[in-house]
Amino acid sequence: MNISRNVLIALATFAIVAIALYSYEDVEDSAAANSTLNRGLSTDPESLDPHKMRSVQAGEVLRDIGEGLAGYTATGELIPAAADGWTISDDGLTYTFNIRSDARWSNADAVTASHFVFSLRRLVDPATAAFNAHLIADIENASAISSGEMEPSALAVEAKDDQTLIIRLSRPTPYFLALLTYPSTFPVNPDSLAEHGDSFTRPGNLLSNGAYKLDSWQPGSMLRLSRNEEYWNNAATAIDAVNYHVLTQPMTELNRYRAGELHITAIVPPESFKRIREDRPDELHVASYLGVYYYGYNLSKPMFGDSLQLRQALSMAIDRDVLVEKITGRGEAPAYSWVPAGVDNYEPRRFNYADLNQDERNAGARRLYREAGYSAANPAQFELRYNTSDTQQRIALAVQSMWREVLGAEVTLVNEEFQVLLSNMREAEVTQVFRSSWIGDYNDAHTFLSILQGGNPANMPRYASDEYDELMLAAAEQTDPKLRRVYLEEAERVLLADHPVIPLYFYVSKHLVSLQVSGWGDNVLDYHYSQHLSLATD
Amino acid sequence: MLRYTVLRVLGAIPTLLLVIVLAFLMVHAAPGGPFDDERVLPPEIEANIAKKYHLDEPLHRQFLRYLGGVVQGDLGPSYSYRDHTVSELIGGALPLSLHLGALAMLLSLIVGVTAGTAAALRKNTVLDRTVMALAMTGISIPVFVVAPVLVLVLAVYLQWLPAGWSGNAGGARYLLPVVSLALPQIAYIARLTRASMIDVLASDFIRTARAQGLGTIAIVRYHALKPAMLPVLSYMGPAVAAILTGSVVVEEIFGIPGLGQLFVRGALNRDYTLVLGIVIFYATLIILLNLLVDILYAVIDPRVRQR
Amino acid sequence: MMSLGSTWQRLRQNRTVMICGGLLFGVVVVACIGPLVSPNDYLQTDFDNLLSPPTVTDMQVFGTDDLGRDLFVRSMLGVRVTIVIAVVASAVSLVIGVIYGAVAGFVGGRVDAVMMRFVDTLYALPFIFFVILLMVAFERNFLLIFVAIGAINWLDMARIVRGQTLSLREREFVAAARVTGVSAPRIIFRHIAPNLMGVVIVYVTLTIPQAILVESFLSFLGLGIQEPQTSLGALVNAGVNQMEGAPWMLLIPAALLASILFCCNFLGDAMRDVFDARHTA
């Protein structure tokens, strides 16, 4: 019985094999065109709908196929884009944009002010359920619309005529223009949306107003873009086609780059960084990036909430130079402040111990540790939680051994799935010390400082300081950029003195860029528009 | 016959239901939701998103809603690919996975049976020992070691073959993934073939054939191969399972947009619907296959129907 | 039926069994004693000594990893963990498989048909996907790995045991026990189970390498054992990423893993030959 049944199964398998071999058509062909740029992308975009996107990767692709009112140059200077200019009222509340008269969708229709009105309303409409609706929370009535108290049409965005767009803010927001470079504020074409519904982002349906248009998207494999002939600045676009290769494994990506199949990588695997720096120094691009890697304390529990000494001792005992040189080793900057250097119009404050050398810091840390009531006989015992990843683990192991050697603290490492760690951090019940990070949404200190305000959902340490919150509020109401900066810097000083977090290092962006590519510019936002690049043919 | 068929089909339904319930509970038991991120969202926005995907409903309502969709062949929207439905994603990935698996299976059968037969015919010679040692090595080194080494040597150093999938043309890009996938199966099949071939060659009817003066090749081809293939055929089921497992690794390493890669990504991103969809899809496929075989079997051998 | 004594005799006469068994035994002994003898610790990081090649200084005969930890001690820990996982997981599959198979085979008839149909169905499920789900859904721990791997492997065991039981059931001594009114569970445990020993032992030697491979597969996906604990699979996986810069990080654990699998597989084959008269004839 069993043998012949198995034989039948085998025959059925063969039948499937035969069908599979016969039926599968290889649709992908190699684009032999010389002017095709091959870029790595570390994961699929979750959506190409500007209002449903949230990831860095989706942003990367959307900046090629869409365009906001403002944009950036290759080196990261803000420039007009779909708008050719704007005026800002003296109170900093009313922005008037002049939409380019030659701005076109890829079907040759004009991009008008009303498209922006439609899109910004759609962004805050609860029915859209956009992740990034809060980005434009400073537009009048935006928050009330998101929470369902007002109709989307109440948004203070108005198309005076086809070319003139007026946006009113509820409070002065110096970084508002920077927000308009973010893909979530890009326009979508209302007619296309009405015609295709949810599938308007499909290749063939998607209308783009950027330098490229979407030809195909095979999830898990590749997105193909080609030149948008209707783009107003099409003459300046050098490269005809761009392929984004979805490569989740950094090693795979590196191998493909080395085999000559990619021009630009999304990342450089840590394991190979040293060798690459030696072998391909001209191709390696490392630039500081708006992101901070930190350990947070759970301040809602007494162990850390009540002991400033312990918090400061642990912060001081970490040798950040060893961390960035030996453990991460990719040119990261050791962090002694909360806001990274390189943020526009801002000078980060530093920890009061930042100017000591590590031996002096260790001595200070031991003193504080003893003051906090801990000793060799009574060591501090706590858990350090981090999410499953090689880098997090290496850092956690290193910090654990530093705390052990300098202070004698007994730290248990708890390695959790990312989503598990997140839900633990949000509940703030079992967490003691946890790993987290923050990547800036826009080039302004506010994006970093605001998350530690009381009531901010991203305030994982549960930091609550009235002084800090008042300074942040004062900064928010300030229209004078110089005064605003003073308030923000003062807020950071208060923050650092309270030690609610241990900033470990500031991120860097790292890419391998083939020598064939020119026009590449390193910038803190790590935005690299394909339209600025050109490809040498050999 | 009809009664038998109906009974079998009815028997398959609870199994499938069990799979769905089990998988559903498992993904929902996992802490963390599909849209959690370090960038925690304002509560009103989070509520909007939960509402849109019905994540705010009680679990049993979500299950019934999901089951209702599945019955109609709708596996729901994907959470991590918000522009796609799960059915679309599976439909896009399936042909490729099947194709790769089929090629690997074919390669392992051809090479495995040939090597195993050769080893059996030259039992206890250098050839036999070499083949068996190679087979043993093939079984003993995990795919995730073999594949990167092959890529490094053949694609990066020698640049004979493409290093990855996307954007490369035609047959060459199949070579490394298929070989990596097939290697362990070649080894298993070679060992199986050798063992059963030795048995068969020692049996009486082969001796008779030999006495009649038939040559070795003719004996193998006309007499020994068929009975010797039986254990190999019985191994096909486990082989499919092994290739399925291997394909997860191979697809990850080469960046091939197949079902394995889709599944791993879905599981890590808490993409409930995608993960459930793939599990249900596979289970249905295999249950159907078994069903088909049972019914076919009953047609061939009427005695089965009585049991 | 062979007595245990004569089985041992035959095993001793088989060269493959002795060589492979000895080698395995040796590796396990070194894995247990090595870390005690070595001055290094599996946790101790050394940031001035990252990725150093094998050397005799400080007894770092296998070199160090990317955190400066001694690879010898870690490899030995990996061997221990891997073997423990494999043995326990096999034991899990053995217990479930033997009981299930013996009951199905002994009771026979409709019950047997239903039970085996169930096994057939489970065979059909994409188990590896369930294992991935299991590892992602629940916080990973040692126990779960055993359960997951055991759950994959008991099916084969159940099938084989059932086949053996079916034939044993017809034997005189079982019939005799039945006639004298011995209860069914007692027959299964007293008369049938001991006679399954041979095939079960052979089969366990074959499931152990499978369990090792599944564990390494989980490690590849990052779902295996948690650092700073390690397994051979986890070490090999870490080594793959360093294979150009620090080949010893790949070669040493991979060689250990391969040789353990090698030995287990050969041992399984040889044991089958010993137990199965047809092959030795």
Least confident of A493-507, B23-37, C14-28: B23-37
Residue A32 in this model has a pLDDT that exceeds 60? no
Two tokens at B236?
């096909």
Contact A413/C245, CB-based, under 8 Å? no
Confidence of residue B108 (pLDDT cuts 50, 70, 90): very high
Q: Is B268 on the interface with C (CB under 8 A)?
A: yes
* Confidence grade of residue A1 (pLDDT, cut at 50, 70, 90): very low
Give A-chain residues touching C238 at CB under 8 angstroms: 390
Could you tell me the CA-to-CA distances from A518 to A521, A533, A534, B50, C54 in Å, in that order? 9, 6, 5, 44, 43
Chain B residues whose CB is inside 8 A of the A18 CB are 102
Average pLDDT of span A120-134: 91
Chain A residues inside the 8 Å CB shell of C133:
none
> Which pLDDT does position A291 carry in this prediction?
92
Which residue would you say has higher pLDDT here, C97 or B19?
Answer: C97
Interface contact A234, partner B, CB < 8 A:
no
Q: Does the pLDDT value for residue C105 go beyond 60? A: yes
pLDDT band (50, 70, 90) for residue A484: very high
Nearest CA in chain A to B109: A14
| Position A380 pLDDT exceeds 90 | yes
Nearest to B144 by CA among C217, C258, C232, A249: C217
**Closest approach of C11 to chain A, Cα-based (Å):** 31
B306 interfacial to chain C (CB closer than 8 Å): no
Q: Tell me, what's the pLDDT at B280?
A: 86
Q: Which chains touch B (3 or more CB pairs under 8 A)?
A: A, C
CA–CA min distance A252, chain C (Å):
10
pLDDT tens for A331-351 read 899 999 999 988 888 999 999
pLDDT at residue number B36: 75
pLDDT at residue number C143: 75
Average pLDDT, chain A: 90
Instruction: State what percent of residues in chain B have pLDDT above 90.
Output: 15
Cα A414 to Cα A402, B216, C133, C140: the distances in Å are: 17, 63, 20, 11
Give the contacts of C179 (CB within 8 A, at least 6 positions apart).
Answer: none
Mean pLDDT computed over A215-222: 91
Q: Can you tell me the distance from the alpha carbon of B79 to that of B86, in angstroms, rounded to the nearest whole number?
A: 9
Hey, how many other C-beta atoms are within 10 angstroms of the C-beta on B87?
18
Using alpha carbons only, what angle is made at residue B135 by residues B130 and B140, rounded to the nearest 5 degrees? 125
Find the range with the poorest average confidence among A193-202, A309-318, A337-346, C117-126: C117-126
Of C47, C136, C244, the CB nearest to A275: C244
User: What distance in Å separates residue C130's CA from the closest CA in chain A?
Assistant: 17
Q: Is the pLDDT of residue C93 over 50?
A: yes
Of B49, B80, B233, the CB nearest to A10: B233
Tracing tokens 């209702």 back to the chain, one arrives at B68
Query: For residue A39, what is the enclosing H or E element?
Result: strand A36-41
How confident is the model over C122-170, as pLDDT tens digits? 776 667 777 777 777 776 666 777 777 787 778 888 888 888 888 888 7
Nearest by CB to residue A259, choosing from B155, B252, B292, is B155
Residues of chain C contacting A413 with CB distance shorter than 8 Å: 227-228
Size of interface A-B (CB pairs under 8 A): 235
pLDDT at A272: 87
Could B236 and A6 be called an inter-chain contact, meaning their C-beta atoms sit closer than 8 Å? yes
Point out the residue among C217, C243, C266 whose CB comes nearest to the CB of B249: C217
Of residues A158 and C54, more confidently modeled: A158
Q: Which long-range contacts (CB under 8 A, 24 or more apart) does A366-374 make?
A: A366/A313, A366/A406, A366/A407, A368/A309, A368/A310, A368/A312, A368/A313, A368/A316, A369/A309, A369/A310, A369/A313, A369/A317, A369/A407, A369/A409, A371/A309, A372/A307, A372/A309, A372/A310, A372/A313, A373/A307, A374/A310, A374/A407, A374/A408, A374/A409
Task: Name the pLDDT band for B307 (thresholds 50, 70, 90).
Answer: very low
Which residue of C113, C124, C128 is in closest CB contact with B290? C124
Task: Please report residues of C whose CB lies closer than 8 A to that of A389.
Answer: 222
- pLDDT, residue C245, reads 85
- Could you give the domains of chain C? 4-279 (1.10.3720.10)
- Indicate which of B26, B37, B48 best probes the interface with A, i.e. most A CBs within 10 Å of its own CB: B48
For an interface test with B, which of A1, A24, A218 has the most B Cβ atoms less than 10 Å from its Cβ?
A24
User: pLDDT tens for residues A399-436?
Assistant: 998 999 999 999 998 888 787 888 888 888 999 999 99
Q: Which overall architecture, per CATH, does domain B91-257 show?
A: Orthogonal Bundle (1.10)
Residues A124/A154, Cβ–Cβ less than 8 Å: no
Task: List pLDDT tens digits, range B254-300.
Answer: 888 999 889 888 887 778 889 889 888 888 887 787 777 777 777 77
Give A440→chain C minimum CA distance, Å.
Answer: 28
Using pLDDT thresholds of 50, 70 and 90, give the confidence band for residue A457: confident
Give the residue from C125, C127, C157, C243 with the most B CB atoms within 10 Å of its CB, the best one to mutate: C125
Lowest mean pLDDT among B145-159, C3-17, C162-176: C3-17
pLDDT bucket at C1, cuts 50 / 70 / 90 = very low
Nearest by CB to residue A271, choosing from C136, C222, C245, is C245
Higher pLDDT, C124 or A366: A366
Q: What is the pLDDT of residues B86-95, one digit of tens each?
A: 999 999 898 8
Residues of C in contact with A417 (CB under 8 A): 136, 139-140
Contacts 24+ apart (CB under 8 A), C168-176: C168/C105, C168/C192, C168/C195, C168/C196, C169/C105, C169/C106, C169/C108
Please give the pLDDT value at position C174.
80
| CA gyration radius, chain C | 22
pLDDT band of A256, cuts 50, 70, 90: very high
Q: Where is mean pLDDT largest: A30-39, A211-220, C135-144?
A: A211-220
Contacting residues of C for B244, CB less than 8 Å apart: 126, 128
Residue in chain B lying closest to C262 (CA): B140
Query: In chain C, what residues touch B263 (CB-CB under 8 Å)?
Result: 129, 132
Average pLDDT over residues B62-66: 90
Beta bridge partners of A287: A509
Q: Cβ–Cβ of A438/B38 closer than 8 Å?
A: yes
Residue with more model confidence, B107 or C43? B107
Q: Of C36, C138, C41, C224, nearest to A397 (Cα)?
A: C41
Fill in the amino acid letter for A193: L
List CB contacts (< 8 A) between B40 and chain A. 426, 457-458, 460
The residues spanned by each domain of chain B are 91-257
Which residues of A make CB contacts under 8 Å with C?
251, 269, 271-272, 274-275, 322, 326-327, 388-390, 393-394, 397-398, 401, 413, 415-417, 420
Q: Of A6-10, A77-81, C192-196, which one has max mean pLDDT? A: A77-81
More reliable by pLDDT, A385 or C267: A385
Residue of B nearest to C258 (CA): B140
Return the pLDDT at A30: 47
CB contact under 8 A, B23 and C130: yes
Tell me the chain C residues in contact with residue A387 when contact means C-beta distances shorter than 8 Å.
Answer: none
Is it the case that residue C230 has pLDDT exceeding 50?
Answer: yes
Taking an 8 Å cut-off on Cβ atoms, the answer to whether C241 and A271 are in contact is yes
Res. C222: pLDDT tops 80: no
C44 touches A: beta carbon within 8 Å: yes
C-alpha distance from B286 to closest chain C C-alpha (Å) = 5
Reference A445, options A299, A520, A341; nearest CA is A341
Q: Encode pLDDT of B205-241 as tens digits.
A: 888 888 888 888 888 888 888 888 878 877 877 788 7
pLDDT in tens, A460-470: 999 999 999 99
Neighbouring CB atoms inside 10 A of A428's CB total 17
Distances in whole angstroms, Cα of residue A93 to Cα of each of A98, A156, A185, B19, B277: 17, 11, 18, 57, 49
Provide the shortest C-alpha distance from residue C242 to chain A (in Å): 6
Chain C residues with CB-CB distance to B under 8 A? 113, 117, 120-121, 123-130, 132-134, 136-138, 209, 213, 216-217, 220-221, 233, 236-237, 240, 243-244, 250, 254, 257-259, 261-262, 265-266, 278
